[in-house]
Amino acid sequence: MPDPRFFTAAGPFTLERLAGIAGAELATGADPAAEFADVAPLDTAGPGDVSFLDNKKYVGTFEASRAGACIVHPDLASRAPPGMALLVTPKPYLGYALVAQAFYPVPAPKPGISPRAVVDPTAEIGEGTEIGPGAVIGAGVRIGARCRIAPNAVVGDRVEVGDDTTIGACASLSHCLVGSRVTIYPGARIGTDGFGFAMDPAGYVRVPQLGRVIVEDDVEIGTNSTIDRGAGPDTVIGRGSMIDNLVQIGHNVAMGPGCVIVAQSGISGSTQLGHHVVLAAQAGLAGHLKIGAGARIAAKAGVMRDIPPGAEVGGVPSVPMKQWLRQVAVLANLTRGKSTRLKEE
């Protein structure tokens, strides 16, 4: 059971209702009226809990689980232990996400401005929005309805924020327009100067960064991530994109909708991503590239050329995924006995 200090469960829900929420079918033998009070991982779930199996790595745990109900792919349903009620769906992780959201909806903001917040009198704050202690809201800021501005967050002058958006503790925003249903996690920095300067015998000369950051609707920006504003054009984070922690996005980057940027990745200035591009962890893209829609960049890859739509690449500098796997295999061979001969030829 999730720690009640931090989480409050809704429910209980009947199996029938849960199947509806999950978009799943009840397997034969499951009682539609049976009630479940919570979600839990396979290894700790009990008879009153709903669990899920998504990663095949955990089939053994599934077989031994005491969960009363489980959301599972049809291909793995037969591995269930006896007596477990099954919610069968080709997308068990999606099903679990929806069921877990039903049990644990995001807490609503507590409307009102803390007397310990600092809100400029020219700022416009929407109905139902919560502004926590220590938050600083600048001149001319516009914040929509039902937003949550967490303690010690800073929203710079004339920034605009849509509805139902959360700005985490100690995050800071400037020079940006943020959509609705956006989550900006604690410590994220949006809209700071891009890294632009020109050489001069007397030192580097700062190039004024005159663009903005546009954060479209339904975006998430992870903890302590940094997104520079554009130098002239804007930096754009496309609708529904998910950016993980400690990610760096350079000036003028334009990202289509639905991109996924995993932790500690970086995108250099002016690079353009189509929709649904995926960067795995610690990957990097050089500047001024075009990355086609649906391209997938492996963890730790370093991309120095344009990538066509749908391509998968890995390595530094990155090459097509199959070629990278061959490189890895060849290197392995060269260093297992073969290598000696090669060197002595």
Dig out the tokens for 327 from the structure.
């490189």
Smallest distance, Å, CB 221 to a second copy?
11
Count how many Cα atoms sit within 13 Å of the Cα of residue 246 in the half-sphere of its side chain.
6
Q: Does residue 73 have an active-site annotation?
A: no
Burial 187-200 (b: 16+ CB within 10 A, else e): bbbbbbbbebeeee
Smallest distance, Å, CB 145 to a second copy?
20
Can you tell me the distance from the alpha carbon of 119 to that of 256, in angstroms, rounded to the nearest whole number?
33
Smallest distance, Å, CB 84 to a second copy?
17
Q: Given the complex with a second copy, which of 246 and 293 has the nearer CB atom?
A: 246
Smallest distance, Å, CB 113 to a second copy?
13
Q: Is the peptide bond before 317 cis (omega within 30 degrees of 0)?
A: yes
Sign of the dihedral through C-alpha 188, 183, 219, 301: positive
Sequence-distant (≥ 6) Cβ neighbours of residue 321 within 8 angstroms: 296, 298, 312, 313, 314
Q: Given the complex with a second copy, which of 127 and 341 has the nearer CB atom?
A: 341
Smallest distance, Å, CB 202 to a second copy?
9
Q: Of the residues 251, 275, 276, 288, which is catalytic?
A: 251
Q: Given the complex with a second copy, which of 33 and 237 has the nearer CB atom?
A: 237
Q: Given the complex with a second copy, which of 32 and 342 has the nearer CB atom?
A: 342
Q: Given the complex with a second copy, which of 147 and 283 has the nearer CB atom?
A: 283
Q: Given the complex with a second copy, which of 26 and 314 has the nearer CB atom?
A: 314
Catalytic residue numbers read 251
